[in-house]
Structure 1
Amino acid sequence: MTRPLRDAPQFYLTSPTPCPYLPGREERKVFTHLVGARARDLNDVLSQGGFRRSQSIAYRPACETCRACISVRIVVADFRPSRTFRKILSHNSDLIGEALPPQPRSEHYSLFRGYLDDRHPDGGMATMSALDFAMMVEDTHVETSLIEYRRRSPDSGFTGRGQGDLFAFALTDRLSDGLSMVYSVYDPALEARSLGTFMVLEHVERARKLGLPYVYLGYWVEGSPKMAYKARFLPQERLMPQGWERVG
C-alpha cells in the first residue's frame, strides 16, 4: 500500500452554506491546513492560485454552479492614484502605519468590536469573542504583521511610529510576490477619512518600497456591494480560468 507524503497538503470540501455575497445562492469552499515548516511556501503557492488565509487555514470558493468570486491583486509598479485617491491620501497624511508582530491587545479588539457592530452586525464574525479575535490574529504559521495606523508625531520620521489613539489596523501577510491583506478594521466614526481605501493605498506604497509586485485584495464579486470597492484599484490582475489577466 502506498503511503502519502507526510508533508503533502490534504484538501477538504465544506458542505453548502448560504452565500454571504449574492442572495439566493450557496457557497462551498475547498481548504487545507497551513502548518509546519512548509506553511509559508504553501501559502505563497496557494495565494498565487486564488486561495485566501484565515488563521492556519487556506481556502478558496468551490461552488458547483457559480464562479462569481474572482481573486484580484493590484499591479504595484503601474499603479497611479486617481484624483480621488490622492485626496484620500492627503486627508490621512497625518497618519502613519507601523508593522508590528501579530500580538493583539485590548484596543485592537475594541476597535474590531466597534467595526463589526457598525458595519457587519449580522456577518459571520458578529459573535466573535476576545479569545476568538486573539486566535484570528495569532494563529499563523506564515510571516504576518499587524499594521497599526496612528497619528504622526515629531519623531515618526525616525522611529516609524505614530502616537495616540488607534485609528485602524490591518492583518497582513508577506508573500514572496506581494502583500496579502487578510483583514482590515477601522473606526467607523471616522467615515469621512475613507480609512478602508487609505489602508489599501498605503499597502501599495508599502509593497513598492519592499520591491514587491502585488497587493492581494482577496475576492471581488461582481454584483456584490461589499466587494465593489476592489474594482477601483487599477491596474489590477484577476484570476480567470486561463490564469491571471490584467484589467485597466
Structure 2
Amino acid sequence: MRHTLPLAPQFYVTAPQPCPYLADRMERKLFTALQGDTAIALNDSLSKQGFRRSQNVLYRPSCTDCAACLSARINVEQFTPNKSQRRTLRRNEGLVRRTTSAWATEEQFDLFRRYLDSRHSDGGMADMDVFEFAAMVEETPIRTRVIEYADRETGNLVAVCLTDLLEDGTSMVYSFYDPHRRSDSLGTYVILDHIDIAREAGLPHVYLGYWVPGSVKMGYKSNFSGLEVFRGGAWEAFQGDEAYDAQLHPLSTDPIAEQVANISLPDLSHPVKRT
C-alpha cells in the first residue's frame, strides 16, 4: 500500500531546555517539518509569520512564560546605513562575493570551526563535526544558496552565510566569519551586503532571525534602520529597545492549540518547484 504525506502540516512542541539568549530561562519551540512538494510554499508563508528554518524544520519560539524572542527583518526600502555602517562598507571593499549552491566544503568548515572556537565555544553548536556541518548546509528542501566572501588579494575565505530565497526577501539562516578580523565588523558587513542582494533582486526584506531584548548576543540587530519585528501576529516598525519587555509573565504566551489555530497556511494544492 502506498502512503502519502498529509497535506496539512503537523505541528509539535519541543521539551523545555535552557534558553541560549537569556540566563535562568527555559525555551520551548513550536515546529513543523518541511518536506515534499509543498516545502517552498510553506516556508514562504510561515517565514512571514515569525518562523525560521533549520534544515528540514520550521520553528518559532513558544516558551511557557516568556515572549521575549521576536522575529526580525529589515525593510530594504526603509534602510539607510549609519556612519558606523558606512565605515564597515569601506573597510571591506577588498572582499569579493561568491554565490554557490547549498554545498559544504572543507574550507567553509575550517572557517566555521575557527569561528565557533573563538566566539561560541560553549554554545549548542560547539561540538558539530564536518558531517553535521554538511547536513546544516545541504539538507534543504527549498531554494538555498551559500554566499561566500573572500579576500580579493589572497583569495582566502573570510565569511560565509547560508541564505534562503523567499518570495519576499532573503533569509539569513546562519552566518560565520574569520574571528581574527574583529575590527572589520564582518557580521555587520554580511548583513549590509544581503541588503544589497535583496535590493538587486527586487526583494523587499532581509530576514535576520530573532531579536531578543536584554540579550547582548542579539543587540546588534537593532542598529539597522528599517528594522521590523513580528509581534502580536503582525509585523511592526521597530520602536526602540525600551518599547519591548523581556520580563517573565505567565500570560505572555497563548496556549499551543490557539497558536496553531492562528497560523495561516498557504494553498498547498499547487506545489512550487525548487530551483
TM-score normalised according to structure 2 size: 0.84
Cα shift at 1:203: 0.2
Residue 230 of structure 1 aligns to a residue whose secondary structure is helix
Match of 1:13 in 2: 13
- The one-letter code sitting in structure 2 at the alignment partner of 1:167 is V
Match of 2:158 in 1: 167
CA distance in 2, matches of 1:185, 1:128: 14
CA distance in 2, matches of 1:202, 1:116: 22
CA distance in 1, matches of 2:89, 2:122: 31
Counterparts of 1:79-158 in structure 2, within 5 Å, are 79-152=79-152
Distance 1:93 1:56, change over 3 A: same
- The one-letter code sitting in structure 1 at the alignment partner of 2:187 is G
Q: Does 1:232 align with 2:223?
A: yes
Cα shift at 1:149: 0.2
Consecutive aligned runs of 4 or more in structure 1 exceeding 2 Å deviation: none
CA distance in 2, matches of 1:107, 1:242: 41
Q: Does 1:214 align with 2:233?
A: no
1:23-78 CA-to-partner distances (Å, cap 9, x unmatched) read 11101001111111110110001100000000111001000110000011001012
- The one-letter code sitting in structure 2 at the alignment partner of 1:106 is E
Higher relative contact order (CA 8 A, sep 6+): 2
Q: Does 1:243 align with 2:196?
A: no
Residue 170 of structure 2 aligns to a residue whose secondary structure is strand
- The one-letter code sitting in structure 2 at the alignment partner of 1:226 is K
CA distance in 2, matches of 1:242, 1:6: 26
Query: Which blocks of at least 5 consecutive residues in structure 1 are unaligned?
Result: 154-162
Match of 1:53 in 2: 53
Give the root-mean-square deviation of aligned CA atoms.
Answer: 1.3
Whichever structure has more strand as a proportion of its residues is 1
Counterparts of 1:191-206 in structure 2, within 5 Å, are 191-206=182-197
Query: Which blocks of at least 5 consecutive residues in structure 2 are unaligned?
Result: 240-275
Match of 1:183 in 2: 174
**Cα contact 2:104–2:137 (8 A) shared by 1:** yes
1:171-220 CA-to-partner distances (Å, cap 9, x unmatched) read 00000000000000100011111000000000001100000000000100
Counting matched residue pairs gives 236
Residue 65 of structure 1 aligns to a residue whose secondary structure is coil
